[in-house]
Amino acid sequence: MPEEPERVLTVREIVVEPGQQPERIDRWLTAKIAGATRNKVQEAIIAEAVTVNGGSTKANYKVKPGDLVRLELMKPPPIELIPEDIPLDILYEDGDVLIVNKPVGMVTHPGFGNRSGTLVNAVLHHVGLELLEVSEGVTADGDDDGESEELESDETILAALPFDYNAVRPGIVHRLDKDTSGVMVVAKTMVAKTKLGEQFADRTIRREYRAIAWGAFNEEEGEIEGNIARDPRDRKKFTVSKRDGKYALTRYQVVEHYELATLLSLRLATGRTHQIRVHASHIGHPLIGDTTYGGDSPHGVASQSTARARNLLKLISRQALHARTLGFRHPKTGEYLEFTAEMPEDMERLVEALRIQN
């Protein structure tokens, strides 16, 4: 386990906007800071790491237009891009793109909680830092197959501080959750990153996922629609919201029916953070093994089958979700390319167990 880097003092100042209605500062800051929690903000206020107009404050102070709110925080140093000799399952490679089958447990790009061992670290070792151009490029807004733009460590309040994510994710135009396996494309040049980013933004990329969800589906195919927003009770999670968030649409088709679960093929019409996992949970069919969205306990299972269902959970230690197919136009030639990686061993093992139980 690498040592935690020594932290440095970082300061951020925020001026309350004109027209701001009186609001408790702990609530105001929680809403202002991506990834923050109210408890963390309150702790910072108690520690006098938050001041208003140069003086200490309390959590119940109500901000007003023109207030100068200052945060003094101990922040980890900038993340360094370090090539690491990590094996890659390469499906295709040329001078412009690299197609990999990302394994379970690998984070896409470095962040405060994951400074090494990521896909970016592995790719840098494979192609060389000089080939993978490090500078800003087009990244589709909201195209989060998995990893959130915000931080997932305990240092949630630090998400408010300046941080250049493009500098730690060269070539990355989309993401998968740490525990979601499957096909990813990495751009090896800035031109390729821009062209691929445009395709993701235009929703012309073909993406098909395989997932194993709890319970039986009555329809062979269907759509799940609903805005996805950050969960107000737990800002590390997302939820379907009628008023907030961004529009999201997931199309599904049943591949196989089992007594206790269903194997699905899913297509993303949009690409929001945790989209498939949130939508599946929203309709009462969370993905097996998904501890964040309720899949770590049986759903839609008869009481007499609960014991068998719990045994299934022992076969997989993560959400049963795999990015099976990715199709796109080559950023240089314009040729349509499509790549497929079949489900990894843990999901295949789960499917076999479900078939036996039928």
From the list 67, 143, 144, 177, the catalytic residue is 177
Contact indicator for 236, 155 with CB cutoff of 8 Å: no
Contact indicator for 270, 279 with CB cutoff of 8 Å: no
CA dist 67 → 17, 62, 133, 170, 279 (Å): 8, 10, 41, 38, 40
DSSP secondary structure of 197-222: HHHHHTT--EEEEEEEEES--SSSEE
- Catalytic residue flag (residue 177): yes
Residues 6+ positions from 307 with CB-CB distance below 8 Å: none
Q: Which of 304, 319, 306, 325 is nearest to 350 (CA)?
A: 319
Contact indicator for 116, 84 with CB cutoff of 8 Å: yes
| Helices and strands (H and E) in the chain: how many | 7, 17
Task: Quickly tell me which residue has 């890659």 as its tokens.
Answer: 88
CB neighbours of residue 340 within 10 Å: 14
Euclidean distance between CA atoms 280 and 275, whole angstroms: 8
Residues involved in catalysis: 177
